[in-house]
Each structure stands twice: as structure tokens, then as C-alpha cells.
Amino acid sequence: MKSPYDTASFPSKVVFWWMNPLLKLGDKRPLIDQDVPPIPKDDKVQNLAEKLEFEMDLDSLNPQKSLFKCVMRCWKREFIASALFKLLGDAFSFCGPLLLQQIVLHLETPNAPMWEGVLYAVGLLVGFLFQSWFSMQYWFYTFRLHANIRSTLIALVYKKALKLSHSGKQSSTVGEIVNLQSLDSNRVGELSMHIHVIWASPMQIFVALGLLWSVLGPSGLAGLGVIIFSMPIQFKIFSRMTEIQKILMEHKDKRTKVLNEVLQGIRVIKFFAWEESYKKIIRAVRSEELRSLIEYWIVSAGMLFLFGFIPVFVAMFSFAVFTFANGSLTPSIAFTALALFDLMQFPLSFLPRSIGSLVSCKVSFDRLSNFFNADELQLNDIRNHEASEYPVVVEDATFEWKPEEKTLRGINMRIKSGQLVAIVGEVGAGKSSLLLSLLGEMPQVDGKLSIHGSIAYVTQQAWIKNATIKDNILFGMDYQKKRYNAVLKSCQLLKDLAILPAGHMTEIGEKGINLSGGQKQRISLARAVYSDSDVYFLDDPLSAVDAHVGKAIFNECITGALQGKTRILVTHQLQYLKRCDLIVILTKGEIEKIGTYDDLMSNYQPFSDLINAHVNDTETESEGKEEEEEKKEDKKTDKLVEDEERKTGSVSWGIYLLYYKFAGIKTVFLIALFGSLTAGCALALNYWLTYWTNVSSYYSLVNTTLANPVIFDELSMGVYFYLVIYMMLGITQSLFFLSQSFTNSLVAVQAAKHVHHRMLKCIIRAPTSFYDTTPTGRILNRFGGDQYTIDVTLPFMLSIATSTIFGLLSILLIISSVTPIFLIVIIPLTFLYRYIQTYFLNSSRELQRLESISKSPIYALFSETLNGLSTIRGYGRSSAFYEDTLNRVETNQKAYFAWQSCNRWLGIRLEFVGTVVVFFAALFAVLQRAQVNASLAALSLTYSLKLTTALNAVIRFATEAENGLVSVERCTQYSELKVEADAITSTRPPQDWPKNGQIVFEDLMLRYREGLPLVLKGVSLKIHPQEKIGVVGRTGAGKSSLMLALFRIVEPAGGRILIDGIDISKIGLTDLRSRLAIIPQEPTLFTGTIRSNLDPFEQYTDEQIWDSLRAVGLQEQISTMKEGIQNTVAENGENLSVGTRQLMCLARAVLRKSTILVMDEATASVDLNTDMMIQQTIRREFKNVTVLTIAHRINTIIDSDKVLVLDSGQVAEFAPPEVLLKDKNSIFYSLANEAGVL
């Protein structure tokens, strides 16, 4: 489908007629995404990105690429075209003052022919029409260029992120990279708008000063003196603004980073009742940001005052000097000069804003340049797609995450095609790091590494896209039904798909939030198997699944479907080592031993001891029942992540009132008061000038007939009386304007503070179901893009909109009072104006909403990609993900292009209305010159020249303000979320509760969301104080659901839970969760130090921290780190192994010393020796604690006091393990038998 712009004729492009079909549709009903036409072919993001990349490659020899030069070269033609339109538009803007002078001279000359005045009026009409068209084309080209630069940079930031090396990733956090996309790319795009103001504004000012010389003579230079005198102050303001902008961006990055980490780890934060503490951390960062924002607005207020004040002072000094020199100020001189001063007001007002924006632009250019210069992975150096007898070869290689801290040393491996190689070792030995080094993810210091053939990679913590299960498995490949079903069967997914509401078309939330750990791991494995690659890197895929499922996967998948493939398997499941071709034993980053199973059993005592201790020789071969062969294809998609909420129609008055309520009603009233007083002073100033010139003309006429000239005699001050009053009014106007600007600063900060505060309060206390259905990118968009609009853009737009409305009313008042006949024209034009505005707004606001909403998927994909970089790169799917981003960016761009084209459609029509008004004001003044005083006519015409700009400004800034209020509306949606139950209630448990640790479940029923089936169906059992309970069951049995109910992460649908006799539904969530301890299934760490992760709020001493680390066996590992417990933890704990992270979570629980401990698959990622050590720790450290352990490894819970077996959400068995093992028909017996522990 072609863009209507591409097929439009030249006349249609001139007046934006091609937009009519979309606007007609928008007038009938709210527009939807499918209504928005495609962007022009010249604006396709992929082509533009290739062009800019080419320019950047030309500069690649320069270590600090000049991104500015690259952007200018890439869009050279567009910059020149918009500059030409700007030049012509500005040139025609001088028609107004020059023709005004001729019309006023015509009115001052009684005998001048009427046709001459009419000709001047027609000249005004023609001049303004040309100015309007050139100006609209300039704005169209400018905003189009802005969109193209912004979208291209968003795409290239994403593309660069896909190539980042480990050190490159470390130099920028996820929050910072998201800001590069959302804020910096947009700011660089704004270069297109502000760069022309920098050269055009001084030119306009100097041309206006030249014309002032022709009108006022040398007196006109007095105005130049004022401008030159103000320059040092301007530069001081701009330099300060540059510093503040940098600081603001740093604070914004920091806030986004913290917020992103909180959102990623929200479940852990809720489990530990840390919401208030993390809310305080975010608020503290926000407070620093607000302090900078206050300074930003104070400096901005000073800047606005300076540039509103300069034109008034230029006029005052010019008229003062002229009066001293000549004495007589006539209407033609005064009002022509005034029109020229007004013409200077726009460049003087917008020049500082543009300089400020270019300063921000420079900051963003630097940030983007640094990012584009970050280190990239050089995967081509190690990967070869041709087949080889030895697809994996490593010779004497050393790898390191940090310089001078070698993670893997002296690695030598030659793996033959088709071999199954097991990698084993203790926690932190470097197993996952070895796989990442083979993938090229870990920097190689020396040695040789080569990988032949295509790669598939299964991460230890499964990376799942926010898409359907089917899309996650296919991963961009073509669907082949037979192969697909075979993969589902070999990865043991058929039973799970039967349970899920829409089978394989069930949508999965971000990070696989609505799946169990085992399901996520098997989908990740299925993706690898379906890819039909040559080399498979499998990082502990069996740890998250039940024993019988693990056995089936090993038999049917790893040694079945993948038979003949080269497989490198990291595992803690020692029972499978006998069936591996080669075993690699890692110890502290070095290969301690490598050989076959038989060799190692015969020749390596530690290995044989480990096997003999943990692996039972008798392996059972009993297989489970055959699963159904195929899934039905006709199930509908189960939509988990709903489309982003979007309101339609105009922004409600409630949002306006809410914003003003946040800002403070009194403060808003003061803004309106100061605005009206400023406009009133401006009116009085110009009326006084009219009176002055009228008197001056009268006395000039009288003096020519008298022998002794009469001098002005008011208050015996003569001509200076008029000058003094004029200057007093000018100074008063400036002071009111200053007051308005400072009051606006208060409004900006107060409103921004309250909006963020309310939104954060609700977001951090939202139930987990909200996070299941809402992508992180969508939330970050509200706290990023929308909050930035509220912080910076909206207050400015509201302030300008208020000033322009008062200005427009002043213009209409003056023209109507001077030439009442003008009302005949203005009344129908007002209705036309209002109709055009309403017709336009129906489409404009919906397009703005569509543009805002279409940003969220871009940021959501970005956050998701950064978390799964190693998987995407491992499969070689970077280009497919880049294409996905290009499509999402283009969807956003087409809404932006349509919205800006809509604005230009309105602009050219409003300009025409304004031009007609100017023409009639001039025509009526000429036709009624006998009845109209020349000074009043000059005043009326001077104001009519402002009308076109004022009409445009009112609609533009009022629309921009309304569009800004859409951001308030969007943030308000998140501040009205349904939140969890109260943190603290009137029913408070005793200080020492729970003292004993007794837990009673009474007919407990649970469902995750309204409308979904029950996952717990009447669970009833009693756990005695200090009992150690093992919880087992097949995937989906309800094991984790039971723990979620205990912590009230999900509220029960029926029944109740009693702890030490207290119904937990009656107490506050903080009282409940802060008294329990949990080691969650997914170990979550935050950026900071080891100490801050164990004790985020510094409640414990260093000695207690070391004691907890000693208890979990981490003391030795952490004491070898340079900074000990102050050692840095990277984002998401990426610089630590998953096993180490899991042990740190155990250390947290040791520190908390709760009476009840829950372990949810807590030992899944550790080796058997470490698992045994953890069990000993639990028996020692938690001797007097009630412990509930969910585990896949039967070894882990075999010595529990009792075992709870769940099946389909019900209690199937609950008895001591020895009792259950005596019953060969029990589920627990079959699970133990499958695990090989009998």
C-alpha cells in the first residue's frame, strides 16, 4: 500500500489536501492504528538507517565519531530544503511592517488616492499568503526530518545493542540504553527544528535593525545596544542550562535504572516486603532530579523573562533616543518601528529556547556517540558455518569478564562431531562461563577458539519472549507441523499444552511470568531442538524439571532427537554422565580433568567417590504413559498481555482540574492573574503610544502654523512625560511577565512531583497479576517519555498557550474597537476558525495517542532483547529481531507523520483565515480613513499583523498542551490501579509472631486471575512447629501456587491459612511477609554490592553478613574477591554464576532469622555436593524453624519430616517419606523410583 503523500498531486501537497480522507474518518469516529496510512517511501526506516550507517562507517577511522557530522551529511538535502523555505518565509514576513508604513503614510496624507491604499492592502494579502505557504512547508519538512532522525537513531541504538560486547554492556545499564532510545534520539531529532533558528534569528534581528535605521535613523541602534548589553547575561544563562541538562539526564538515567531493576525483581521485593524501602530509594533519586528540575525552571523563567523583556526595552530605548534627538514621534514612524520590534520578538524569544535545545542536543549527541563507540562482539572471528570433524576447538585459551581477573585459564578442548560432552563442577567453577566463552560472549585474552556449524543455546535461566508458546519455539523459523509435533513430544511439552488455556497458542508474559520454571526450560529446549542446529550448548536444562521429566528429556531429546548432533551439556545430574562420550571437570576456572566416564571412574578418585556417593547403580527403565501425539490446532490464542489502554475523545476536564490541583489552585490562579496583567500592560503600553503619537502629530501640525512653536506641557515635562509613562508601563509589563514565569516554574515542579509520586505509589503496590499482563517497556514509557513531557514540555506549552490566548484576545479587542465594521468579518471567521479547530482536534488528539501508545512496544522489545542477548546472538537471530524493531518503529513513525501532517493541514488553513483578517483590517482602515484616526488605525494594523501568528500559536500551543495532558492522563491511569491489600491493618500480630511456626491450610482454593480455572482445589493440611516439609509433584501440580498463597502474592479464592492461630488474610501484607523468609525459584540480585544485596537497608553488621556467607559456604569464594562483601554486583547479578546467586538468596534467609522458611526450587542450580551442604546448613541454621521445601530432586527432601505430594491442585499424599516409600502404589514412590534414589 502506497502512502497518499507519494501519490498526491503538487496542488494537493501545497494545501495538504491529501490529508482530507483521514480527517473525514477521524471526524466520524476515533481513529485506530489500521486507519493511519503508510509513511512515504523516502521515509522508510531501514533505508535511512543504512544511509546513516554508511556515513558513520566513513568516520570509523576517527575514534570519537562525529555523529553530528554524520547526521548532517545523511540528511544534507533535507536540511538545505528546509533552510530555503525558512529563508523565503522570513523574507516575506517583512512585507507586513513595510506595507504597514505605506498604509499609515497613506492615511496621514489626506489627498492620497484611494486605489493606492487598496493596492497596499492587496500587497499585504499576497505577501502573507506567500509567507504562510513557505512557513508551512518549512515546518512540514522540519518535523518530517525530526521524525526520520529520531526513528533512525532508535533503530541503530537497538542494532548496536545487539552487537555489544560484555565490556560494552557494562558501560551502559538497561535504563541508560532505554533513555538513549526514548529521550536522546528524540532530542537529536529536534536538531532539525532548532538549527535553523540559530542562523535565521540573528539574520531576522539584523534585517529588522537595518529597517529600524531607515525608520528611526541612528536612534534605531539604541535597540542594538540593548541586545549587545544583554548578551553576557544570555551566555551565562545558557552555560548554566547546559550543566543542568547534563545533571538532569544523569538523574533520569539513575531513576530509570533503579525503576527497571525494581520492575525486574518485583516478586522478590514483594516476598521480602521491601516495597516501602525501594519506594524510598526511587523517591530519593527523584528528589535529586526535582532539585535539578527546580533550578532548570528557575533558569528557564529568567531566560523567558529576558527575552520577553528585551523587545520592550529595545522599543523603550529606541523611542527615548529618537525623542531626545527629534522630539516628534509620528504614527507612521512609531507603529512601523513597533511592527519591526514585534517581528524581532519571535527570534528573540525562540533563540534562547533553541540554544537551550541545541545544548541538550549536544549532550545527547555525546551520549549516543559514546554508545556507538562501545566495544562490539567479533563473532565472525570464531564462528565458521562450514561443517568440520571437530566443530568445537579450544587451544590454551584464557577468558576474563574483567581485565586482569581471569575467569577461565588454560582451556584445551577438541570436541568431535556428534559427541555428547558433559561439563561438571561445583558452584562458581565456571561452567556457564565456559559455554558463554564458546559462544564468543566472554572476552578472549589469548589462545585459539573456533566453532564450526550453526549453534543453538539453552540458557540456565530460560529466556522467554512475550509471545505465544508456538512463536517462542519457532523463533522466526517456518512452521513444519510434523517436525514441530515431534519436538513437543521429545521435550515433554504435550501434557503441559493440554493444561494451558489455548495450548501452544497461549501467550506468555514477559520473562515467561505465567509459566513454571520447568515449563520455561522445556520451551527453551524445544526452541533449540526445532532449530536443527549443528552444535548445541545446553546450560543445565534438567535442573528445573522433575526427575521423571528429566529422565524422559535425556532419553527422548538429548540422546534421542539430538542424536548425532554435537552437544555440550552442563549438568548436576550425575546419573546421566555414564551415557556421555566425554566428561569435562571444571574447578575454579580450570579444566581439572577431561576424559570418558570409564577413564575417570578408573583413574580419578574424586570423581568415582562422587558418583558412588550420589548415583544408584540400579536405574529404572519404567516409562510414563505415552502422551497424546498432536495438539489441536484450532484453539484460539489466550491473550495474556492486553493492548495498552487508550482513551478516546478530548482530554476530560477532570484531567485539567487534576493537573491544576497537583500544581496548586492558588498558584494556577496567580498564573492567570499575572498573564492577564501582562496582557493588560501590553495593551496600555500600545494605547499610550497611540495617544503620544496622536498628540505629537497634532502639535506638529499646530507648530507649522504658529510663529512660536508650542512644546508639550503636561506636568511641565514636555515630551518626556509621554516617554516616562511609556517606560513605566514597559517595566511594569516585564515585572508581571517575570512573576508569571516564576509562578509557572512552581506549577511545573509541583505537578511533576505529584504525578510521579502517585504513579510510583500504585505501581509498587500493584498485584503481581498487573506485572503478568503489562510489559516492563510499557511501564518504563510512562515513567520515562510521559513523565519527561510532564516535567519539561507540558508546563512550557501551558505557559505559552496562556500568554498567546491573552494576546489573541488583545488583538481582536483592538481591531474591533478601532474599526467596528470589522466585527462583520470576525464573527463568521470565528465560527469557521472554531469549526476547523474542532474538525482538526478530533483526528489530531487520536493520532497523538496512537503515537504515544506505539512507543511502548519499541521499549518493551528493547528491554526484552537486552535480557536475552546471548540467546539471540547464539542462534544468529539478531537480524530478525532488528527487522521486528524496524516494523515497530515504522508503526510509531506513521502515526507521528500523520499527526504532524494534520498539524500542517490546520496551519495552512488558519494562516489563510489570519491573512483574510489582516487584509480586511487594512482595507477597512483605507476605506474609512475619514472616520478613523491615523494613530488608532496604525495601532489596529500593527495588531492585525500579529493575528496570523497568534491564531496559529493559540491552536498550536493549546493542542500541544492538550497533547501534553494526554501524558498526565496516561500517568493517571497508573495512579488509579487496583493495588494489593493494605500493608498494615488495624489487626496487628504480636511482635514475636510467628513464635512457633505452625501453619494450617483450611480448604484453600486459588486462581491466578478472575476467569481462570482453580490451581489449588481445597487444600487442607496442618504443619506442626519446626517441621521440615518437602513438597513434590509433577509440573503444574500447584507447588509454587501454595507458596504464593502463603505470602498472599495471590489472594485465595476460598478457604484460609492460619499461622500460629492467626488468619493471615486479616493482617497487613508487610506484617505477614516481613515475618516469613523465602529463597525463591529465580535468584534475583540488584545492582550494588554483595553486602547491599544481602542487607539492602543496613540492618546488620559486617560480622553478621560474613556469618551468613559462612553458613551457606560462600565465605571462601567472596573473600577471594578484591573488595570482599563490597565487591560490585552487576545488573541482574550477571557477574555471578546462577548457583552463587542462589546461595546469596539463602544467605538473605539466614540473616532474616524467621520462624518459617520457604525454599522454592532453591537448589536447582547447584551441584550435589553444594546441595548436601545447603541441606546441612538448613538443618543447622534452621533447626528451630518450620521449613517448606519445593524440590525436583528427591534427594533434597528425602530426609524431611513429612512429604506433601500435590496432584492437580489437591493433596494427594501427606506423610513421612519412609511411610510413603513403603507403599509401592504411592506417587512419591514412583517419583523416587524415577529419580534413581531407591
- The residue extents of the domains of the chain are 4-375+648-974, 386-614
pLDDT tens digits for 1223-1235? 888 888 887 877 6
Give the DSSP H or E segment for 591: strand 590-595
Is the Cβ–Cβ distance between 557 and 518 less than 8 Å? no
DSSP, res 1157: E
Spell out the alpha helix ranges (H) of 36-113.
Answer: 45-58, 67-74, 76-93, 95-108
Q: Please give the grid coordinates belonging to residue 781.
A: 514509557
Range of lowest pLDDT (219-223, 700-704, 1047-1051, 1213-1217): 700-704
Give Cα separations from 338 to 25, 209, 721, 953, 1148 (angstroms).
Answer: 44, 12, 20, 20, 73
Domain covering 386-614 in this structure, CATH number: 3.40.50.300
pLDDT at 707: 45
State the Cα–Cα distance between residues 616 and 1205, nearest whole angstrom: 23
pLDDT tens digits for 749-778? 888 999 999 999 999 999 888 887 787 878
DSSP, res 60: T
pLDDT tens digits for 917-926? 788 878 887 8
Per the CATH hierarchy, to which homologous superfamily does domain 4-375+648-974 belong?
A: ABC transporter type 1, transmembrane domain (1.20.1560.10)
State the amino acid at position 236 in one-letter form: K
Paired with 1002 in beta bridges are 1056
For residue 1159, name the pLDDT band (cuts at 50, 70, 90): confident
State the Cα–Cα distance between residues 602 and 503, nearest whole angstrom: 48
Q: Please give the grid coordinates belonging to residue 594.
A: 577431561
pLDDT at 716: 43
For residue 618, name the pLDDT band (cuts at 50, 70, 90): very low
Q: Can the peptide bond before residue 994 be classed as cis, meaning omega within 30 degrees of 0?
A: yes
DSSP, res 1081: S
Is the Cβ–Cβ distance between 663 and 750 less than 8 Å? yes
For residue 422, name the pLDDT band (cuts at 50, 70, 90): very high
For residue 706, name the pLDDT band (cuts at 50, 70, 90): very low
Compute CA 1225 distance to the chain's CA centroid, rounded to the nearest angstrom.
Answer: 55
State the Cα–Cα distance between residues 957 and 1007, nearest whole angstrom: 49
What average pLDDT score do residues 523-532 get?
Answer: 93
Range of lowest pLDDT (187-201, 299-313, 567-581, 979-993): 299-313
Q: What is the DSSP string of 1195-1215?
A: HHHTTSSEEEEEETTEEEEEE
pLDDT at 615: 66
- How do the residues of the chain divide into helix, strand and coil, expressed in percent and rounded to 5? 65, 10, 25
- SS3 (DSSP) at 170: helix
Is the Cβ–Cβ distance between 157 and 177 less than 8 Å? yes
pLDDT tens digits for 869-894? 889 988 888 899 999 999 999 999 99
396: left (phi over 0), alpha (psi -120 to 50) or beta: left
Residues whose CB is less than 8 angstroms from the CB of residue 297 and which lie 6 or more positions away in sequence, other chains included: 744, 745, 748, 749, 795
SS3 letters across 991-1056: CCCCCCCCEEEEEEEECCCCCCCCCEEEEEEEECCCCEEEEECCCCCCHHHHHHHHCCCCCCCEEE
Computed over its alpha carbons, how large is the radius of gyration of the chain?
37
For residue 715, name the pLDDT band (cuts at 50, 70, 90): very low
| Sheet of 420-425, strand order | 455-458, 535-539, 566-570, 420-425, 582-587, 590-595
| Sheet of 383-384, strand order | 383-384, 444-452, 392-402, 405-415
Handedness of CA 550, 556, 559, 563 (dihedral sign): negative
For residue 147, name the pLDDT band (cuts at 50, 70, 90): very high
Q: How many C-beta neighbours within 10 Å does residue 28 have?
A: 9
Residue 275 above 90 pLDDT?
no
Cα three-residue angle 842-848-853, rounded to 5 degrees: 125
What average pLDDT score do residues 645-665 get?
Answer: 75
Residue 708 above 50 pLDDT?
no
Residue 631 above 60 pLDDT?
no
Residue 348 above 80 pLDDT?
no
Higher pLDDT, 1200 or 63: 1200
Residues whose CB is less than 8 angstroms from the CB of residue 481 and which lie 6 or more positions away in sequence, other chains included: none
In 1072-1230, which ranges are E strands? 1076-1079, 1088-1089, 1128-1129, 1156-1160, 1186-1190, 1202-1207, 1210-1215
294: burial class by Cβ within 10 Å (0-12, 13-18, 19+)?
middle
Residue 145 above 90 pLDDT?
yes
State the Cα–Cα distance between residues 873 and 871, nearest whole angstrom: 5
Higher pLDDT, 134 or 622: 134
pTM of model > 0.85: no
pLDDT tens digits for 389-412? 889 999 999 988 877 778 888 899
Residue 286 above 80 pLDDT?
yes
Residue 698 above 60 pLDDT?
no
| Sheet of 999-1006, strand order | 1016-1023, 999-1006, 1054-1059, 1062-1063
Give Cα separations from 835 to 127, 274, 829, 953 (angstroms).
Answer: 26, 54, 10, 17
Residue 423 above 90 pLDDT?
yes
Q: At what angle do helices 1102-1111 and 1138-1152 cross, to 10 degrees?
A: 120
Range of lowest pLDDT (282-296, 1047-1061, 1222-1236): 1222-1236
Q: How many C-beta neighbours within 10 Å does residue 1032 have?
A: 31
Residue 19 above 60 pLDDT?
yes
pLDDT at 1163: 67
State the Cα–Cα distance between residues 271 and 274, nearest whole angstrom: 8
pLDDT tens digits for 448-470? 988 888 899 998 888 888 888 99
Range of lowest pLDDT (535-544, 625-634, 1202-1211): 625-634
Residue 198 above 90 pLDDT?
no
Range of lowest pLDDT (24-38, 232-246, 665-679): 232-246
State the Cα–Cα distance between residues 625 and 609, nearest whole angstrom: 35
pLDDT at 81: 93
Report the mean per-residue pLDDT for the chain. 83
Residue 82 above 90 pLDDT?
yes
Higher pLDDT, 170 or 529: 529
Q: Of 954, 958, 1064, 926, which Cα lies nearest the Cα of 1002?
A: 1064
State the Cα–Cα distance between residues 649 and 217, nearest whole angstrom: 55
State the Cα–Cα distance between residues 170 and 1135, nearest whole angstrom: 10
Is the Cβ–Cβ distance between 1085 and 264 less than 8 Å? no
Compute CA 1234 distance to the chain's CA centroid, rounded to the nearest angstrom.
Answer: 48
